[in-house]
Amino acid sequence: MLELKGVTRHFGGVRAVDGLDLLVPEGCIFGLIGPNGSGKSTTVNLITGLFPLTAGTILFRGERLDDLPTHRRLQKGIARTFQNIRLFGRLTVWQNLWVAQNSPEDRARRSFFARWLGGRRRARDEIAHLLEFSGLAHKADEFAANLSFGEQRRLELARALAARPRLLLLDEPAAGMNSEEIGQLRERILALRARGITILLIEHVMELVMGVTDRIAVLNFGQKIAEGSPAEIQADPVVRKAYLGGGAT
């Protein structure tokens, strides 16, 4: 589904990501872990095109991705959430989901005028479904800026789903959540996989990563130091040294 070959990004002299090879198979929940500053978020930003590659290639469903501008990559079916929550604070919850409906399916299904000038009616059912899924139905008309932290996280996930992604990049979705919320998040992630969405999960919280992923890659100083099943990773001495020795949970 997603393939990174020798992906490299330097910031000045810093090698944030250094020759990373990654293969995320279709329908899998793939974990990307590593200590702070190991290049996890940079990898997500490189996949979505927030900044260009220094070297390497990125393939999505066999197509070159790295020479496309950000919005074209997303139109190919890649959606993401952000490590620091990013929502349109001056739009309502409902509108945040509305503007995210830019999938190829939405484009094909509705004419140009219906998509841009049509009223709310056409989108109502789908958005109601998304609100239901993320438990935000009662907040539909609230400004996104006025939501609580947990609600904002849920809205971000719902917004990513509004784009009908084939591949979903989750950048530390559990940051700041308590263990009850993490449990709900885990259910949601599993439900998404059941719908056929491939997920790349970047996470610090081991409780979540070890519980949902099929496969994990570990980054340290921009390089991949290990890859395997959750059990293999937990047993790997190199990982234990680099990661758990790094002070994170």
Partner 1 sequence: MDAYAVSVLTNIGLLGFLALSAYLVLLAGEMSFGQQAFFGIGAYCGGMLTAMAGWPLPLAALAAMAAGAAAAVAVALPTLRLRGLYFAMATLAAAEMARIGFELLHWQVEVAGEPVGPDGTQGFRGIRWVFEAGLAPEGYAVLVWTALAAVTALLAVAERARLGATLRAVGEDPALAAALGLDVHRFKLGVIAASGGLAALGGVLFAHHNTYIEPRNFDVMLGVHGLAYALIGGLGTVFGALVGVALDVGLLEGVRVFQGYRMIVFGGLVALLLVLRPRGLLDEETVRWIGRRFS
State whether residue 15 is helix, strand or coil: strand
Is 98 a residue that touches partner 1 (CB under 8 A)? yes
Measured from the CB of residue 75, what is the shortest distance to partner 1 in angstroms?
5
Phi-psi domain of 111 (left: phi exceeds 0; alpha: psi -120 through 50; beta: other):
beta
Q: Which of 126, 143, 211, 225 binds partner 1 (CB under 8 A)?
A: 143
Pick out residues in 31-90 that bind partner 1 (CB under 8 A): 48, 50, 69-71, 74-75, 79-80, 82, 86-90
Q: Which is nearer to partner 1, 40 or 224 (CB)?
A: 40
Is 103 a residue that touches partner 1 (CB under 8 A)? yes
Q: Which is nearer to partner 1, 1 or 97 (CB)?
A: 97
Number of Cβ within 10 Å of residue 84's Cβ equals 8
Q: How many chain residues bind partner 1 (CB under 8 A)?
A: 35
Is 109 a residue that touches partner 1 (CB under 8 A)? no
Q: Which is nearer to partner 1, 47 or 218 (CB)?
A: 47
Q: Which is nearer to partner 1, 101 or 134 (CB)?
A: 101
CA distance 161 to 158: 5
Q: Which is nearer to partner 1, 70 or 229 (CB)?
A: 70
The dihedral of CA 142, 146, 148, 151: what is its sign? positive
**Interface residues toward partner 1, by CB under 8 A:** 48, 50, 69-71, 74-75, 79-80, 82, 86-92, 95-96, 98-103, 115-119, 123, 141, 143, 159, 163
